[in-house]
Chain A
Amino acid sequence: MTMAMERLGAPSPRPRSGGAPVVVLCGCLVLLSAAGVLAGVGGVPDRGLLLTSRLPRVLAAILTGAGLAVAGLIMQSLARNRFVEPMMAGTGQAAGLGILLATIAAPGASIMLKGLAGALAAFAGTAAFLFLVRRLPPSEPFLVPLLGIVYGGVLAAVATAIAWNADLMQFLETWFSGEMSGILAGRYELLWANAALLAASVFIADRLTILSLGRDAAEGLGVSFAAMLAAGLGLVCVIAAVTVVTVGIIPFVGLVVPAMASRLIGDNVRTVMPVVALGGAVLVLASDTLGRFIRFPYEVPVGTVLGVVGAFVFLAIILTRRG
C-alpha cells in the first residue's frame, strides 16, 4: 500500500505528556503532607499523636481525594459528559440514604456493613440517574449536571425526612457534609479500599476511553457496553459509599480535577488517570489543611471549603468554555 493521501493543512505541536504535572503534583503532595503531619493543635506531634491522629488524617485526605477524582473521571466516561461527578449526581446522596437505612435497620452494624449498604443504594441510585441521562438530548451537555444536582437534592430530601422521623439528623449531617476532624487511627481504614479500586480502574482505563467514543464505536471494537457500564458503575459506587461513610460528601472534586487534567493532558483515560488521582489528592489535602488553619484552633469542614473553592473553579470552567 503505497498511495498516501495528500497532507491536510499545517500540523501543530503535540499535546503535553503527563510527566511534568505528575512531578509538580507529587512535590505539592509531599509538602502538604509534611505540613499536615507536623503542624496542628498540640504543636509538633510525638509518636502517639502522629500515629493516631495526624498521619491517618493526611492519608484519609489523600485516599479520599484520589478516589473521588478518579470516580469523577470514570463517571464522565460512562455518562459521556464532562460535567458530572458522583457527589453531584445522586451517587453520594443515595449512598447516604442506604447507610441511613442500614443504621435504622441494624443500629449496631459495623462500618463495613453500612458501607456495603451504601454501595448497593448508590448503585441503584446512579443506575437510575444514568437511565434519566440517556433520555436527555446529547446536544445539551449542561442539562446533565443540572439534572444531577436536582436529583441529588430529591434523594437528600428523602433521607432528611427519614432521618428527621428517626431522630438521626446528627448522623445524617456527618454523612452529608464532608468533615475529617473525626478521623483517627481505627476509624478511616475502610478508605484503603479506594487504593485498591484505583488500581482496578487502571485495568479498565482503555476501555473507558473507548466507551467515550460512543456505544456503537465501543461495540464495534468488541467492548461490551453493558459490561463496562456495570464495572465502571461498581467502581464509582464503592468509592462513593466508602467516602460517604467515613468522611461524608465532598462536592466538586470529581468535577474540577478531571476537567483541569483534560485541559492539561487530554481525554485518554490511561494517560490522565495518574494526574487526576494526584490532583484529587492534592486538592482535598490542601482544602483540609486550609480548613484546619483558617480559624485555628477551630476547624472548618473540608466539605465547606471545597463547596466554595470547587464551585468557584467550576463556574470559571463552564463560563469560559470556548464556544
Chain B
Amino acid sequence: MIEIEAVSCSIRGASILSDVSLSLGAGGVTALVGPNGAGKSTLLSMMARLRRPDRGTITVAGHDVAATRPRVLARHLAVMPQDAALPGRLTVAELVGFGRFPHHRGRPGPADRVAVEEAITAFGLVGFEGRFLETLSGGQRQLARAAMAFAQGTPVVLLDEPLNNLDIVHARQLMARLRLMADEAGRTVVVVLHDINHAGAWADRIVAMRGGRIVAAAPTDEVMDEAVLERVYGVPVRIASADGERIALHFR
C-alpha cells in the first residue's frame, strides 16, 4: 500500500532522513515510534506529500505522491498533521465536514452528511456537533481532528501524534477506534506514537526510527524487545510480561 524507496532529505546541510526505504502492505495499524527529532513527522508528511524528499520516491495506493494531483490523492489518503492551530469559531460538525471536501468540492450530498455523522459518533463527539472548537478541551479538539481524518473515508490514514492531550480513557478509545478502522473497514493506518506501550498494545507492526534512519521495522512482538528498544531510544528499557502482553518498563 505504501512504498518508500531510498528517501533522503536534508535541511540546510543537516541530514534529516538518510536513505529510508520501507514497504507497508495494505491494512493493519502501523506505529511509527522513536525519540523526539528522529524524523517521524518528516517521514509521515512526505508520505502525505506535504513535503518533498530531496531524493527517492514514495507511492501510496499505487500513486506516486509527487506526481499525483493533490485532489486525487486526497481521496486515497487522509492526514492529521501534528501542528494544530485551528480557527476557534468553527463548529465540530463544520470541521469534520471539511474532511469530506475532497469528495464534494463544496456541495455536500446526503452521503457526505452520513459520513460526517458516522465519524462524529465513532469518536464520541455526539452532542458536541454545534460546539465551537474554542470551547473544547485540548483532548476533545484532538478527537475532532481525528474524526475529520476519519470522515475523509480514505483507504490510507496517517496520523501524527493523535494521542497528544488525551487522558488514558480517551487515548485507549482512540487507539481502539483506529484498530476498528483497520479491522472492519480494511483501512491502512499509520500513526506516530510516543508511548511505546500503546504501540505494543494496538499496532500490528512497529517502525522505529532514530536519527533519520529506520532502526527496526517488524511485527510488534519483535520490536517490543529489550535490545531493540535500547537501540531505538538509547536508554535501557525492560520488558515485562503481563497476561501475555509485553509491556515496556521505561519509567526508571
Task: Identify the closest chain A residue to B127 (Cβ).
Answer: A11
Separation of A10 and B136 alpha carbons in the complex (Å) = 11
Inside 8 A of A217's CB, which chain B residues have their CB?
A: 79, 81
- A222–B98 touching, CB < 8 Å: no
- The verdict on B88 contacting chain A, using a C-beta distance below 8 Å, is yes
Interface stretch (choices B10-18, B42-50, B188-196, B229-237): B42-50
Supposing A222-B70, A266-B94 touch, asked if A3 and B177 sit within 8 A by C-beta, the answer is yes
* Residue in B98, B118, B135 whose beta carbon sits within 8 Å of that of A213 in the complex: B98
Task: Identify the closest chain A residue to B145 (Cβ).
Answer: A217
User: What's the dominant secondary structure at chain A's contact region?
Assistant: loop
* Residue in A6, A8, A214 whose beta carbon sits within 8 Å of that of B83 in the complex: A214
- A267–B89 touching, CB < 8 Å: yes
Which residues from 69 to 92 on chain B have a C-beta closer than 8 Å to any C-beta of chain A?
69-75, 77-81, 83-91
- The verdict on A108 contacting chain B, using a C-beta distance below 8 Å, is no
- The verdict on B211 contacting chain A, using a C-beta distance below 8 Å, is no
- B87–A4 touching, CB < 8 Å: no
* Residue in B81, B83, B94, B185 whose beta carbon sits within 8 Å of that of A268 in the complex: B94
- A216–B170 touching, CB < 8 Å: no
Interface stretch (choices A52-60, A204-212, A310-318): A204-212
Q: Quote the shortest CB–CB distance from B234 to chain A (angstroms).
A: 29
- The verdict on A223 contacting chain B, using a C-beta distance below 8 Å, is yes
- The verdict on A319 contacting chain B, using a C-beta distance below 8 Å, is no
Separation of A214 and B70 alpha carbons in the complex (Å) = 15
Task: Identify the closest chain A residue to B147 (Cβ).
Answer: A5
- B130–A210 touching, CB < 8 Å: no
- The verdict on A220 contacting chain B, using a C-beta distance below 8 Å, is yes
Which residues from 210 to 235 on chain B have a C-beta closer than 8 Å to any C-beta of chain A?
none
Q: Which of B73, B88, B101 has the most CB of A within 10 A?
A: B101
Supposing A12-B135, A223-B101 touch, asked if A7 and B83 sit within 8 A by C-beta, the answer is no
- The verdict on A219 contacting chain B, using a C-beta distance below 8 Å, is yes
Inside 8 A of B127's CB, which chain A residues have their CB?
A: 7, 10-11
- The verdict on A48 contacting chain B, using a C-beta distance below 8 Å, is no
Separation of A262 and B123 alpha carbons in the complex (Å) = 27
Separation of A22 and B122 alpha carbons in the complex (Å) = 35
Separation of A263 and B75 alpha carbons in the complex (Å) = 33
Inside 8 A of A219's CB, which chain B residues have their CB?
A: 48-50, 70
Q: Quote the shortest CB–CB distance from A67 to chain B (angstroms).
A: 22
* Residue in B69, B85, B118, B135 whose beta carbon sits within 8 Å of that of A214 in the complex: B85
Chain A contact residues (Cβ within 8 angstroms of B): what range?
A: 35 or more
Task: Identify the closest chain B residue to A263 (Cβ).
Answer: B89
- The verdict on B152 contacting chain A, using a C-beta distance below 8 Å, is yes
What per-residue 1/0 map shows which CB atoms of A46-71 lie under 8 Å from chain B? 00000000000000000000000000
Q: Which of A6, A212, A219, A265 has the most CB of B within 10 A?
A: A219
Task: Identify the closest chain A residue to B104 (Cβ).
Answer: A206
Supposing A11-B131, A219-B70, A268-B90 touch, asked if A5 and B101 sit within 8 A by C-beta, the answer is no
* Residue in B78, B95, B101, B130 whose beta carbon sits within 8 Å of that of A206 in the complex: B101
Which residues from 225 to 271 on chain A have a C-beta closer than 8 Å to any C-beta of chain B?
262-263, 265-268
Inside 8 A of B202's CB, which chain A residues have their CB?
A: none
Inside 8 A of A263's CB, which chain B residues have their CB?
A: 89
- A210–B98 touching, CB < 8 Å: yes
Inside 8 A of B75's CB, which chain A residues have their CB?
A: 222
Inside 8 A of B95's CB, which chain A residues have their CB?
A: 213
- The verdict on A19 contacting chain B, using a C-beta distance below 8 Å, is no
Inside 8 A of A11's CB, which chain B residues have their CB?
A: 127-128, 130-131
* Residue in B72, B83, B121 whose beta carbon sits within 8 Å of that of A222 in the complex: B72
- 7 example contacts (A-B, Cβ-Cβ < 8 A) are as follows A8-B143, A12-B135, A13-B130, A15-B132, A213-B87, A220-B50, A265-B89
11 extra interface residue pairs, beta carbon distance < 8 Å, beyond A3-B122, A6-B169, A214-B84: A5-B123, A6-B124, A7-B127, A15-B89, A15-B132, A205-B106, A220-B50, A220-B80, A222-B102, A266-B90, A267-B87
Q: Please list the residues of chain B having a beta carbon within 8 angstroms of any beta carbon in chain A.
A: 45, 48-50, 69-75, 77-81, 83-91, 94-95, 98-99, 101-102, 106, 118, 121-132, 135, 137, 139-140, 143, 152, 169-170, 173-174, 176-177, 180, 184-185
